[in-house]
Structures are given as structure tokens and as C-alpha cells.
Amino acid sequence: MTADRTAASASAASVSASATSASAASRAELIADTALGLLAGRGMRGLTHRAVDEAAGLPLGSTSNHARTRAALLKAAVRRLAQREAEVLTPDEMPRSAGAVRNGADPVAELADALSLALHRSLTAQRDLLIARYELALEATRRPELREFYDATGRGFREPLEAMMTALGSTEPRRHARSLVAWCEGLMFSCAAGADHDAVPDRATLRTGFAELLRGMLNE
């Protein structure tokens, strides 16, 4: 009986610890998501610990408990930004590797389709996230510790793209991946804050653009 009670207590403690961990993770995401929303809506000056508490409906001091300093809050925002950008496509929407293409599908067309979907979502459904991204990028130019952190998250996108270019047979996958990223960056800035803010290209136009770039790089 004692052994049963001990096992039950251990199990309850484990469940409680898991619930506490999940609750903490949920609050951390709420704080980071709220910070991103404030950056998009109010700019860098509008991001304070108190503003996050108020906008998130949390008790005052909650954000400070999670991120003691402004630098820590900004890093949390960058980390969450990277997570959300990485989730712009579902697993089923991700392009298959060139070697896994079935039924005679065109791997270049598949990659162009996936990239166009991701970019179009960033320009439309996730426009606020894109604006927050630029707020953080500008702040990173003035904060070396944030610059390093921001650059590390950026590599998380470039490196998989470089691997995809290698699988497609690119002779210079690193340079080609960087060129694709640069093209995306130019479009995103132009549509989010530049002259094309009211002329976002549709997905078909983006798909054509990606296909032209990819086939030119691969000499197809």
C-alpha cells in the first residue's frame, strides 16, 4: 500500500511539473507574441514591460519576471519571430527533396510553389509579423548582443534553403541561396514599408518569379 501511495505521489508530482512547465511555456509565448504585436503596432518605443503586461492582460510584473531586461525581452521576441516564421508552412506544404519527388513531379516547380506560398503569407496574413521583423532588424544594428542573436536565427532559414539548392543540383548552392533570400528580402521590404505597400503581388506572380530565378541558377 505504501509503495502504491509513493508511486501515485510521484505520478501526481510529475503531472503537476508537466502542467507547470506547459503553463510557463504558454505564458512565455503569450509575452513574446504580445511583444511582436506591440512592435508592429507601436514601434520600438511602444515596447515596454508594462505595455506587454497590459496588452496581454497579465498581472503587472509578469513580463519582468520572464525577461528581466529590455535586451532579454527583445531576444524573446526575436526567438518567437523565428519560430513563427519557421511555421509559415505546414509539414505537408513543405517542398520534397529532389530525390524524393514522385510521379514525375518537377522539383523546381515544387520549390517555387512552396516558396511563393510562404512569401505570399508573409506579405498578407502575417504582415504585422513582417513589420515587427524590421523593427527588430533596425534595433539589432544598435545592439551587438541582439545582432548576434538575430543573425543566428537568420541562418536557420538560409541553411535549409542552401541544402535544397544542393539537392536540386546547384553548382553554387550557398551563393544561390543567398540570392534567393535577397530577392525575398527586397520584395518583403518593398511591400511592407516601401513603394509597393499597396501592390502586393499575388501568389501566381511570386511563383513565376521564383521559377525564373531557380531555372536560371540551375541553367534549365
pTM over 0.85: no
Amino acid at 23: S
Residue 37 pLDDT greater than 90, yes or no:
yes
State the pLDDT at residue 114. 92
- Residue 190 CA to residue 172 CA, distance in Å, equals 27
Average pLDDT of span 168-173: 94
Percent residues over pLDDT 90 in the chain = 63
Q: Give 42-89 pLDDT, tens digit per residue.
A: 999 999 999 999 999 999 999 999 999 999 999 999 999 989 988 888
Distance (Å, whole) CA 172 – CA 165: 8
For the purposes of burial, counting CB atoms within 10 Å of the CB of 146, is it exposed (0-12), middle (13-18) or buried (19 or more)?
buried
Helix, strand and coil content of the chain, in percent to the nearest 5, comes to: 75, 0, 25
Structural domain boundaries in the chain: 1-68, 77-220
Per-residue pLDDT band for 96 (boundaries 50, 70, 90) equals: low
**Rounded distance, CA 18 to CA 67, Å?**
22
Secondary structure letter of residue 169 according to DSSP:
T
Question: Which among 108, 87, 113, 86 is positioned nearest to 97, based on CA atoms?
Answer: 108
Please give the CATH superfamily to which domain 77-220 belongs: Tetracycline Repressor, domain 2 (1.10.357.10)
What mean pLDDT is predicted for residues 127-133?
A: 94
